[in-house]
Structure 1
């Protein structure tokens, strides 16, 4: 017996946390009945429908690194009719979903997969997966402001967060803009934008340039490539390493 959200994730529909949202909103039926209890457990082969459609497991797992352009929604469907990441995967027959989020006006590295467990590992702060961002900022950013990002800033009124690392890449006198980078392991809504605001840094454009060892060197904007087997294996190695660290109390 397994929790319903875990079964949904294992069938490649979405991450476990997204599955919890679907259950809470009454969109999931098990054996013809709506289930909205988070603790409900069932056999792994139970009949599940989401929004009236049967959920069949996909046996093969797929992983892609996508270079998301700006002004694209990080969902598979947008009620406002805006372009979504799904539009770039129309020829892909597997049931993919984005791992985490990138804001509408933010470009960069985004993993697409049908592996719900993998998605949970990448997005959960507990596993400390590093995301590197490059920000084009208005004016001259000071070393003090960058140090503030690393020492910690308060966002969402009372939540203190800090970058693992941050630095100034270059300042352009002609345009009066500064390019900085920062690395974080969390992913609250508008997380990086809020950090920059807290440090009095004025953002013009933001891009996620890497997720751990995955970068966009060979992936043009609007295109994607499959993750190599050793890359997927390396991610699972990171997950296992962090899980053991958490179990041993960080030792």
Structure 2
């Protein structure tokens, strides 16, 4: 199947479903994500997180991700996540990634808008789509005008919010509810970062309120750690390749659960 962009992945899902954006940091986790998506028959996003990849690692992993995504049996795209510099965005686009994210959420709002707009121009000139991040999902977003202004001035294709740390579950639900109004006022698909902090009912609420892409990062790292521990307990534990094989199995299991959940098939084990 030809390499897709993020919009094409979303078009392959029902309107109240979200696509999972799964972080990969090595070949084993990459192949596990693709195998899980094919097993479920659903689209998925391979996420290359800039913070996880040291100097020189983005290129080789990006080429591997593009290679397997083009040969997948389901719609898949490859996405640069949390790009924090224009140089990083340029590198990803030169590598051929069809989807990038510029994360200026840690900057002052005007600086975030300026740099996100520049990143957007770079992405669109290269024929790619871009995600921008407004910042943490705050109660102050009851006034949606600043968010809509951000969208108009940057021109991003997808809008991300992050989930703040350390809130009571009731407050998470209150903040997710703010997204319902935003989906009425804009057609730009919404993205949720930090979803591992949310209980299952609040994640279901996020899907109902129009979140179309959910990032999965922490769960992948935890699955890798569990898999390595399990591999070390196997009979052939002296062979570290067995550890990687067990880690890939664990990642594939987690990704399949997430895909089913985001597609509307609720898993009680999530």
Whether these two folds match at TM > 0.5 is no
After TM superposition, the score normalised by the length of structure 2 is: 0.25
After TM superposition, the score normalised by the length of structure 1 is: 0.26
Greater fraction helix: 2
